[in-house]
Structure 1
Amino acid sequence: MKFTAVVVIAPPELEDPAIEVAQRAGATGVTILEGKGIGGQQKKTFFGLTFEGSQSVLLMVVGTHLATPILKALHEILVDGDNSRGIAFNVPIEHLTGIDPRQLVKFEEYMRRENT
């Protein structure tokens, strides 16, 4: 089976909704990291103090066949008209070790349900 890493970078208030839609689309596990980011716009300042927004970084290792459905589901909560509230992308995984064999069983069960 081939795997892909799906990465989501979004504001903390979208963390739970992003996890929920990703799991409904087939993701079984999520690693959550905290980060700070600087976007393409000028940093906001308040009385000379710079404000950098905090971000949640979600990392999911999924079967390659699940990457597109997960990204489509994430698009619904990350993009609001012309406004983007986060970014999601996938990266193919060439080699992988340490994955829980129970995760493989979940992937296979998901595939059977999708094909019936």
Structure 2
Amino acid sequence: MKFTAVIVIAPDDLEDKVIDRAQRAGATGVTILPGKGIGGEARKTFFGLTFEGTQSVLLMVVGQHLTAPILKELHQVLVKGTESRGLAFAIPIEHLTGIEMSQVVRFEEHLRRTET
């Protein structure tokens, strides 16, 4: 089975929605890291202090067949019209170790359900 890493960078207030949508599309586990970033626009300041919103970086290892459905679900959360509130992308994984076999079984069961 081939795997993909799905990486999502989103504001903290969208974290639960991102996780819910990813799991609905077949993701099983999510690693959450705190983050902060600077977008393309100028940073906001308040009395000379720079305001940077906090973000979550969510990492998921999923079966390759789940990548497109997960990204499609995440698009619904992250993009509203022309406004983007986050970023999601996928990277193919060449080599992998340490994944629990129960996750592989769940990936395969999800694949069988979606094929029928």
After TM superposition, the score normalised by the length of structure 1 is 0.98
Q: Are 1:87 and 2:87 counterparts?
A: yes
**Aligned residue type for 1:26:** G
**Unpaired stretches in structure 2, ≥5 consecutive residues:** none
- Give the Cα–Cα distance (whole angstroms) in 2 for the partners of residues 80 and 13 of structure 1: 15
**Aligned residue type for 2:2:** K
SS in 1 for 2:29: coil
Q: Are 1:47 and 2:47 counterparts?
A: yes
Structure 2 residue aligned with 1:7: 7
Structure 2 residue aligned with 1:32: 32
After TM superposition, the score normalised by the length of structure 2 is 0.98
Aligned-pair CA distance for 1:46: 0.5
Structure 2 residue aligned with 1:98: 98
Aligned-pair CA distance for 1:45: 0.5
**Aligned residue type for 1:110:** H
Aligned-residue sequence identity (percent) comes to: 72
**Aligned residue type for 1:90:** A
**Unpaired stretches in structure 1, ≥5 consecutive residues:** none
- Give the Cα–Cα distance (whole angstroms) in 2 for the partners of residues 75 and 85 of structure 1: 10
Aligned-pair CA distance for 1:96: 0.2
- Give the Cα–Cα distance (whole angstroms) in 1 for the partners of residues 111 and 52 of structure 2: 41
Aligned-pair CA distance for 1:14: 0.4
- Give the Cα–Cα distance (whole angstroms) in 1 for the partners of residues 39 and 30 of structure 2: 24
